[in-house]
With several copies, the nearest count.
Chain A
Amino acid sequence: MNKVIYMDNNATTRVAPQVIREMLPVLETWYGNPSSMHGFGGAVGKRLDQARKQVADLLQADPGEIVFTSGGTESDNTAILAALASQPHKRHIVTTRVEHPAVLSLVKDLEERGYTVTWLGVDRKGHLNPDAVRKAVRKDTAIVSVMAANNETGVLFPIDKIAAITREKDVLLHTDAVQIMGKLPFSVQDIPVDFLSLSSHKIHGPKGVGALYVRKGVRFKPFIIGGHQEHGRRAGTENIPGIVGLGKACQLAARHLDEETIRVGKLRDRLEEGLLSSIDHSQLNGDQNNRLPNTTSIAFEFVEGEAILLLMNELGICASSGSACTSGSLEPSHVLRAMGIPFTYAHGSIRFSLSRYTTDQEVDTVIRELPPIIARLRELSPFC
């Protein structure tokens, strides 16, 4: 494969070289089990503590509030199921129609198992009205689960306002912060969520590891049951190389936050303007303000996303239509549908998601190569 222009960072990211450097010693040499009594295992335990602190620092949390998991999906599942298990008399869930499948499919499953769910919608720009949360919350609401930033459009949700409401109403709040991490600051001191999910591979850490923030004092029940790891909150021998990598990735994310937010944001804006101005019948999905600095979702009318992706792929340009884990399925994205995007647009939507490794030249290339691709596909289209 030739040089790749990787603009699919909301699907997964390149592992930072510094992260790999940090992981190698625990893969190669310090392979002990941190639960072991011997010093060889204990030395590994220290690295685990350090990683926990690094993750906590990114969120301004206490290390004791961090539980390591196998990824964003497990974190999401754990938070919601813990809230339900610790309040068995409460059987109502509030969430949105535009959550990631890690929340959406779980809550649908719970709905089938007899829980009541209020599904909050979004407007045409992808915004969620916090008042909708206020109206939805009931006496028997066990948890409100609202993502911090949408993975497809990058649109931000008003978690601060929602947290004020759930606090006032004394309801637990979970936020899927998988996409906001490393792109915008998020402090659990400023925004009093009870649970927060994050995933390593979205912030230049390795795949297969994530974390769940659980606010001190919030009742908890483990999802994976077995040994006493993670202070009894998540059983199973810890994924030490993954956790060490995640810790380092969090440290780097904090360091790069300001600088990269600005630089990446400018690159994204240039890409977006370049494409929208040179391609007719194209439009932005979601609000132009109030979103992640790295993401743009653009709809090209009359053409189909998969076809665009494959022609881009021949030039080594990687992007995505819908979220990575629903690509391969036939329906247009549930997020764009919830926003009411007409299907001729929704079908031709492409998400470009940049990262701190994205270069000016790469943006130039995409701005240059995409218009002829769209033109070529439109020649085929019965709508044109």
Chain B
Amino acid sequence: MYSEKVMQHFATPQNVGVIEDADGVGEVGNPVCGDMMTFYIKVNNGKIEDVKYQTFGCVAAIAVSSQVSELVKGKTLEEAKSLTKGVVAEALGGLPKQKMHCSNLGADALARAIHDYETRTHGQHPCPHRENQTAGCTQGCCDTGEIS
């Protein structure tokens, strides 16, 4: 059912854990299946210097979090922001159809961690969905906690 790459990440997940003094923390829960994922990032010079995560989820979710952590470690925030679920799934050698949503979990949790970092450092972060920095998010993502 799962690709070799998925099984490899699942068997030996990379970068597991918590960063106590993280610069950004992002948590997502999956309403479909009830699974949870938390990402921690340490940022230095606009780059993700360190990344860790915890996952309460299926095999795909565990592999996705491990894969995401590998993909973004050492990357700039801009590079990390462009990470999509498609890229994650592809890096994993594909995911079963009914598990594609699990790859959202990884990209979303990371996006939230970056969002958290930006909110902390700039107060008002440069949201792509805002007309200007005083208007609300047109997507409603910050207000509802959903990042699309």
Interface residues of A (CB under 8 A from B): 37, 42, 302-304, 306-307, 310, 314, 328-332, 343-344, 347, 379-384
Contact = CB atoms under 8 A, between A and B. Distances in A.
Nearest to A45: B1
Nearest to A379: B16
B98 interface: yes
Given A330-B58, A380-B54, A382-B36, 17 more contacts: A37-B1, A303-B56, A307-B10, A310-B59, A328-B1, A330-B33, A330-B101, A331-B32, A331-B33, A344-B56, A380-B13, A380-B16, A380-B55, A381-B54, A382-B37, A382-B38, A383-B56
Given A330-B32, A330-B98, A331-B33, A382 B55 contact: yes
A42 B56 contact: no
26 contacts: A37-B1, A302-B56, A303-B56, A304-B56, A304-B58, A304-B61, A307-B10, A307-B57, A307-B58, A307-B59, A307-B62, A310-B7, A310-B59, A328-B1, A330-B32, A331-B32, A331-B33, A332-B33, A344-B56, A347-B34, A379-B16, A380-B16, A381-B56, A382-B54, A382-B56, A384-B54
Given A380-B62, A382-B27, A310 B10 contact: yes
B11 interface: yes
Given A42-B1, A314-B11, A381 B33 contact: no
A68 to B, nearest CB: 20
A306 B10 CA distance: 11
Nearest to B38: A382
A228 B10 CA distance: 26
Interface string B23-60: 00001000011111110000000000000001111110
Nearest to B17: A379
Interface residues on B, range: 20 to 34
B55 A381 contact: yes
Q: Is the interface of B mostly helix, strand, loop or mixed?
A: mixed
Contacts of B37: 382
Contacts of A310: 7, 10, 59
Interface of B: 1, 7, 10-11, 13, 16-17, 27, 32-38, 54-59, 61-62, 98, 101
B54 to A, nearest CB: 4
Contacts of A302: 56
A311 to B, nearest CB: 8
A304 B99 CA distance: 14
Contacts of B32: 330-331
A133 B33 CA distance: 32
Contacts of B34: 332, 343, 347
B54 A304 contact: no
Nearest to A331: B33
A13 B99 CA distance: 28
Nearest to B102: A330
A381 B37 CA distance: 8
Nearest to A321: B58
Which of B7, B56, B58, B59 is the most central at the interface, judged by chain A CB atoms within 10 Å of its CB? B56
Contacts of A303: 56
Nearest to A332: B34
Contacts of B10: 307, 310
A49 to B, nearest CB: 12
B55 A347 contact: no
B132 to A, nearest CB: 35
B98 A329 contact: yes
A344 B35 CA distance: 9
Which of A310, A380, A381 is the most central at the interface, judged by chain B CB atoms within 10 Å of its CB? A380
Nearest to B66: A380
B108 to A, nearest CB: 14
A37 B101 CA distance: 19
Contacts of A381: 54-56
B11 A304 contact: no
What 7 pairs between A and B have smallest CB-CB spacing? A382-B54, A330-B33, A382-B38, A306-B58, A343-B34, A381-B56, A306-B59
Contacts of A344: 56
A383 B62 contact: no
A302 B38 CA distance: 14
A343 B31 CA distance: 12
B100 to A, nearest CB: 11
A284 to B, nearest CB: 21
A328 to B, nearest CB: 7
A326 B58 CA distance: 15
B16 to A, nearest CB: 5
